[in-house]
Amino acid sequence: MLIAVERLLIRLRQPSARADELIALRRRLRDERAATIDADERALAREVHDRKLAVVAELRAVTSCGSCAAGQPWPVGHHAGGACCAGDTASLFDDRELAALAHAGTGPGDLVAPREAPAGCAFRAATGCTLAVRHRPARCVHYVCTTLRRELHRRGQLDAVEARLAALDGAMQRFAAARAARLDRETVAPLVEALTAASAARRR
Ligand code: SF4
Protein backbone atom coordinates (compact mmCIF):
# COMPACT_ATOMS: atom_id res chain seq x y z
CA MET A 1 0.00 0.00 0.00
CA LEU A 2 1.24 3.48 -0.79
CA ILE A 3 2.50 5.18 2.34
CA ALA A 4 0.32 8.26 1.72
CA VAL A 5 -2.80 6.07 1.44
CA GLU A 6 -1.82 4.11 4.54
CA ARG A 7 -1.47 7.35 6.51
CA LEU A 8 -4.80 8.64 5.25
CA LEU A 9 -6.52 5.42 6.36
CA ILE A 10 -4.90 5.63 9.80
CA ARG A 11 -6.13 9.23 10.17
CA LEU A 12 -9.65 8.27 9.09
CA ARG A 13 -9.86 5.31 11.48
CA GLN A 14 -8.05 6.51 14.56
CA PRO A 15 -8.33 9.33 17.12
CA SER A 16 -5.75 11.96 16.17
CA ALA A 17 -3.38 11.30 19.08
CA ARG A 18 -3.10 7.60 18.23
CA ALA A 19 -2.92 8.32 14.49
CA ASP A 20 0.12 10.55 15.07
CA GLU A 21 1.76 7.84 17.18
CA LEU A 22 1.11 5.08 14.64
CA ILE A 23 2.36 7.12 11.70
CA ALA A 24 5.54 8.07 13.58
CA LEU A 25 6.10 4.48 14.72
CA ARG A 26 5.64 3.05 11.23
CA ARG A 27 7.99 5.69 9.80
CA ARG A 28 10.70 4.78 12.34
CA LEU A 29 10.18 1.07 11.64
CA ARG A 30 10.55 1.59 7.89
CA ASP A 31 13.76 3.58 8.44
CA GLU A 32 15.20 0.83 10.63
CA ARG A 33 14.26 -1.90 8.15
CA ALA A 34 16.06 0.05 5.42
CA ALA A 35 19.34 -0.08 7.39
CA THR A 36 22.08 -2.38 6.15
CA ILE A 37 23.01 -4.77 8.91
CA ASP A 38 25.30 -7.81 9.03
CA ALA A 39 24.33 -11.42 9.69
CA ASP A 40 25.47 -11.31 13.34
CA GLU A 41 23.20 -8.38 14.21
CA ARG A 42 20.28 -10.04 12.44
CA ALA A 43 20.92 -13.31 14.27
CA LEU A 44 20.90 -11.44 17.59
CA ALA A 45 17.56 -9.81 16.72
CA ARG A 46 16.21 -13.32 16.02
CA GLU A 47 17.58 -14.52 19.34
CA VAL A 48 15.75 -11.70 21.16
CA HIS A 49 12.60 -12.73 19.31
CA ASP A 50 12.98 -16.43 20.22
CA ARG A 51 13.80 -15.74 23.86
CA LYS A 52 10.81 -13.38 24.12
CA LEU A 53 8.52 -16.19 22.91
CA ALA A 54 10.13 -18.57 25.43
CA VAL A 55 9.18 -16.19 28.26
CA VAL A 56 5.62 -15.91 26.97
CA ALA A 57 5.30 -19.70 26.79
CA GLU A 58 6.10 -19.84 30.51
CA LEU A 59 3.57 -17.09 31.32
CA ARG A 60 0.69 -18.51 29.28
CA ALA A 61 -1.48 -19.57 32.26
CA VAL A 62 -1.11 -16.49 34.49
CA THR A 63 -4.24 -14.55 35.45
CA SER A 64 -2.82 -11.44 37.17
CA CYS A 65 -2.45 -9.48 33.91
CA GLY A 66 -6.21 -9.44 33.23
CA SER A 67 -7.27 -7.52 36.35
CA CYS A 68 -4.25 -5.64 37.71
CA ALA A 69 -5.48 -2.17 36.64
CA ALA A 70 -9.07 -2.28 37.93
CA GLY A 71 -9.97 0.73 40.07
CA GLN A 72 -6.86 2.73 39.27
CA PRO A 73 -7.03 6.29 37.86
CA TRP A 74 -6.97 6.92 34.09
CA PRO A 75 -5.15 5.90 31.95
CA VAL A 76 -4.08 2.85 33.97
CA GLY A 77 -7.59 1.94 35.14
CA HIS A 78 -9.28 2.60 31.79
CA HIS A 79 -9.12 -1.16 31.18
CA ALA A 80 -9.23 -3.90 33.81
CA GLY A 81 -5.86 -5.36 32.83
CA GLY A 82 -2.54 -4.28 31.41
CA ALA A 83 -1.46 -1.67 33.94
CA CYS A 84 2.08 -1.92 32.56
CA CYS A 85 0.69 -1.01 29.10
CA ALA A 86 -0.47 2.47 30.20
CA GLY A 87 2.80 4.14 29.20
CA ASP A 88 3.85 6.22 26.24
CA THR A 89 4.06 4.39 22.88
CA ALA A 90 7.30 6.01 21.69
CA SER A 91 9.05 5.14 24.97
CA LEU A 92 7.77 1.56 24.97
CA PHE A 93 8.98 1.21 21.37
CA ASP A 94 12.31 2.95 21.89
CA ASP A 95 15.01 2.76 19.20
CA ARG A 96 16.56 -0.42 20.58
CA GLU A 97 13.25 -2.27 20.87
CA LEU A 98 12.05 -1.11 17.47
CA ALA A 99 15.33 -2.17 15.85
CA ALA A 100 15.11 -5.64 17.41
CA LEU A 101 11.58 -6.00 16.04
CA ALA A 102 12.48 -4.63 12.60
CA HIS A 103 15.41 -7.00 12.12
CA ALA A 104 13.45 -10.00 13.38
CA GLY A 105 10.85 -9.40 10.66
CA THR A 106 8.19 -7.03 12.00
CA GLY A 107 6.84 -4.74 9.27
CA PRO A 108 4.63 -1.63 9.36
CA GLY A 109 1.54 -3.70 8.51
CA ASP A 110 2.07 -5.80 11.65
CA LEU A 111 1.49 -2.78 13.90
CA VAL A 112 -2.29 -3.07 14.10
CA ALA A 113 -4.02 -0.89 16.68
CA PRO A 114 -7.50 -1.07 18.24
CA ARG A 115 -10.19 1.43 17.18
CA GLU A 116 -11.34 2.27 20.71
CA ALA A 117 -10.18 5.35 22.66
CA PRO A 118 -6.48 5.30 23.59
CA ALA A 119 -5.40 4.61 27.17
CA GLY A 120 -1.61 4.52 27.21
CA CYS A 121 0.19 2.43 24.61
CA ALA A 122 -1.38 2.72 21.15
CA PHE A 123 -1.96 -1.05 21.09
CA ARG A 124 -3.67 -1.38 24.47
CA ALA A 125 -7.31 -2.47 24.22
CA ALA A 126 -10.00 -3.69 26.61
CA THR A 127 -9.25 -7.26 25.57
CA GLY A 128 -5.48 -6.88 25.89
CA CYS A 129 -2.76 -6.06 23.38
CA THR A 130 -3.77 -6.04 19.71
CA LEU A 131 -0.28 -7.03 18.57
CA ALA A 132 0.77 -10.62 18.05
CA VAL A 133 3.35 -11.45 20.70
CA ARG A 134 6.14 -11.72 18.11
CA HIS A 135 5.56 -8.04 17.22
CA ARG A 136 5.58 -6.70 20.79
CA PRO A 137 8.70 -5.15 22.30
CA ALA A 138 10.76 -7.46 24.50
CA ARG A 139 10.09 -5.15 27.44
CA CYS A 140 6.39 -6.06 27.23
CA VAL A 141 7.19 -9.57 28.43
CA HIS A 142 10.11 -8.49 30.57
CA TYR A 143 8.10 -6.48 33.05
CA VAL A 144 7.07 -8.70 35.97
CA CYS A 145 5.23 -6.65 38.60
CA THR A 146 4.85 -7.64 42.26
CA THR A 147 1.36 -9.09 41.70
CA LEU A 148 2.57 -11.29 38.87
CA ARG A 149 5.68 -12.25 40.79
CA ARG A 150 3.48 -13.46 43.70
CA GLU A 151 1.33 -15.49 41.33
CA LEU A 152 4.38 -17.08 39.71
CA HIS A 153 5.74 -17.92 43.15
CA ARG A 154 2.44 -19.60 44.10
CA ARG A 155 2.53 -21.59 40.86
CA GLY A 156 6.13 -22.65 41.42
CA GLN A 157 7.16 -20.93 38.17
CA LEU A 158 9.14 -17.96 39.43
CA ASP A 159 12.61 -19.49 39.03
CA ALA A 160 11.85 -20.74 35.52
CA VAL A 161 10.50 -17.34 34.47
CA GLU A 162 13.46 -15.51 35.97
CA ALA A 163 15.89 -17.79 34.13
CA ARG A 164 14.14 -17.09 30.81
CA LEU A 165 14.03 -13.37 31.54
CA ALA A 166 17.78 -13.37 32.25
CA ALA A 167 18.37 -15.12 28.91
CA LEU A 168 16.19 -12.54 27.14
CA ASP A 169 18.01 -9.69 28.86
CA GLY A 170 21.38 -11.12 27.79
CA ALA A 171 20.24 -11.44 24.18
CA MET A 172 18.93 -7.87 24.16
CA GLN A 173 22.20 -6.55 25.63
CA ARG A 174 24.20 -8.31 22.92
CA PHE A 175 21.87 -7.03 20.20
CA ALA A 176 22.08 -3.46 21.56
CA ALA A 177 25.89 -3.64 21.64
CA ALA A 178 26.07 -4.89 18.03
CA ARG A 179 23.68 -2.17 16.90
CA ALA A 180 25.57 0.57 18.76
CA ALA A 181 28.85 -0.60 17.19
CA ARG A 182 27.26 -0.45 13.73
CA LEU A 183 25.93 3.07 14.34
CA ASP A 184 29.38 4.14 15.54
CA ARG A 185 30.95 2.72 12.38
CA GLU A 186 28.38 4.52 10.23
CA THR A 187 29.17 7.81 11.98
CA VAL A 188 32.93 7.44 11.76
CA ALA A 189 33.17 6.09 8.18
CA PRO A 190 32.31 9.40 6.40
CA LEU A 191 34.79 11.25 8.63
CA VAL A 192 37.59 8.82 7.77
CA GLU A 193 36.66 9.11 4.09
CA ALA A 194 36.75 12.93 4.21
CA LEU A 195 40.07 13.00 6.07
CA THR A 196 41.59 10.52 3.59
CA ALA A 197 40.37 12.61 0.65
CA ALA A 198 41.71 15.82 2.22
CA SER A 199 45.07 14.20 2.86
CA ALA A 200 45.24 12.90 -0.73
CA ALA A 201 44.33 16.38 -2.07
CA ARG A 202 47.13 17.97 -0.04
CA ARG A 203 49.67 15.52 -1.47
CA ARG A 204 48.73 16.38 -5.08
S1 SF4 B 1 2.74 -3.32 22.82
FE2 SF4 B 1 1.02 -4.42 23.74
S3 SF4 B 1 1.92 -5.47 25.52
FE4 SF4 B 1 3.37 -3.87 24.92
S5 SF4 B 1 2.84 -2.06 26.16
FE6 SF4 B 1 1.72 -1.89 24.21
S7 SF4 B 1 -0.31 -2.82 24.64
FE8 SF4 B 1 1.11 -3.51 26.26
State pLDDT tens for residues 37-79. Answer: 999 999 999 999 999 999 999 999 999 999 999 999 999 999 9
Residues 6 or more apart in contact with residue 53 via CB below 8 angstroms:
133, 134
Encode pLDDT of 155-184 as tens digits: 999 999 999 999 999 999 999 999 999 999
Phi-psi region for residue 128, left (φ > 0), alpha (ψ -120 to 50) or beta?
A: left
Contact 92, 121 (CB under 8 A): yes
Ligand 1 pocket member 100 (CB < 6 A): no
Contact 133, 52 (CB under 8 A): yes
In the reported structure, the alpha carbon of residue 199 is separated from the centroid of ligand 1 by a whole-number distance in angstroms of 52
For the question of whether the overall pTM of this predicted structure is more than 0.85, the answer is yes
From 93, 68, 72, 71, select the one nearest 82 (Cα to Cα). Answer: 68
State how far the Cα of 129 lies from the Cα of 85, in Å rounded to an integer: 8
* Type of residue found at 138: A
In the reported structure, the alpha carbon of residue 112 is separated from the centroid of ligand 1 by a whole-number distance in angstroms of 11
In the reported structure, the alpha carbon of residue 74 is separated from the centroid of ligand 1 by a whole-number distance in angstroms of 16
Atom of ligand 1 nearest to the CA of 131: 2
State how far the Cα of 73 lies from the Cα of 85, in Å rounded to an integer: 14
Mutation choice for ligand 1 from 76, 123, 139, 142, CB with most ligand atoms inside 8 A: 123
